[in-house]
Structure 1
Amino acid sequence: MVESIRLRRLRWRLRGAWQWPTFAMATALDAVLVARLPFQGTGGDAVGAVLLVGFMNLLAVAVVAPFLGLALRRRRRDLPFIIARDYAGTALLVAITAALLVGGVAHRSARLGQERDRAAVFLAVHDYVLREEPDFAGGLATMDTRQMEDERYRACVYRAGERHPICFFVNTDQSPAGLVRDTERLPNRS
């Protein structure tokens, strides 16, 4: 009698012990997705991505999964609560990973567009500085670019030993990018 109860409990534990291995794998995969295929912005560093998705996954497992486990337990009375919670947590972790993947793929074209715009800004400013203001050529590597609105940027280039940069308004909705010199020499950081 005791032996049959132990075997049944072992069977449930083996069937329901997927939440924490899934948590570890999903956290690693989600961190890679957030860093390399971000759903917003241009991505982040690995440590920030691990912290973000670790917190998100832990919140799902600790807060949401017990409630979903209760709902699952109402539908399937044969499941012990711990197993139902484990199933719900595993399903939540998979759903979060799928949502991050879909969001990253959906945002990918916008991110690539921003990268193309930044390359066009650099090329336009680079060509102008080399042609018209060669004294500032040394500052091209540390160009300060700020997006003002869609396809509109302000880029500033500094000369060694000088506080005030030369700045440009760059319009990337045309090819080649349109460039207008800003009369104010205030840095973007102000």
Structure 2
Amino acid sequence: MRRLGSFILWSTATLVCGACLILAAAYLYLNPQVPDAASFRNVKLRAPLSIYSADEKLIQEFGERLVPVTFDQIPPLFVRALLDTEDKRFFEHGGIDLITLANASWQLVRNKGSIRTGASTITMQLVKNISGDTEVRFIRKFKEMLLALKIEQELSKQEILALYLNIIPFGKHAFGIQAAANT
């Protein structure tokens, strides 16, 4: 019985050390490829091309509609609803929600590669929306995590939420909460 306990202990320690080594190697390899988080302070928001008539009436808009708002302009009830559906522990984590990540990893193993709930936080979704890379790959996800950690150190939670709500697509070429409200 004592040998079994010792075997389990050493096996667990070996797995944990191996996982730490893999994560450290991935960090050292991918971190130089991740952009500086300070660049998220100056994100260029897309504006549509608007065509007006001679009497200044809007005829047509081409491209995405986007009307930037500040965090103070976003209704608190909307923020609570967003966080309840997208990232319940937004104010408690530093860019990566380890509980949700562990749950998604467990689903991946249990369901043989299928995940029913994702592990992306609001900050990780912000990175994905700005980068435009939608391909599902482990390396992209790891880069998202690295950049999310950096962004959380650079921007306040309110700045992250405002930027996220200014760039996410709401359909009908409306990007951001205000453009969606105007649609």
TM-score > 0.5 by shorter chain: no
Bigger helix share: 1
- Larger Cα Rg: Structure 1 or Structure 2? 1
Provide TM-score, normalisation by structure 2: 0.28
Larger relative contact order (C-alpha < 8 A, sep ≥ 6)? 2
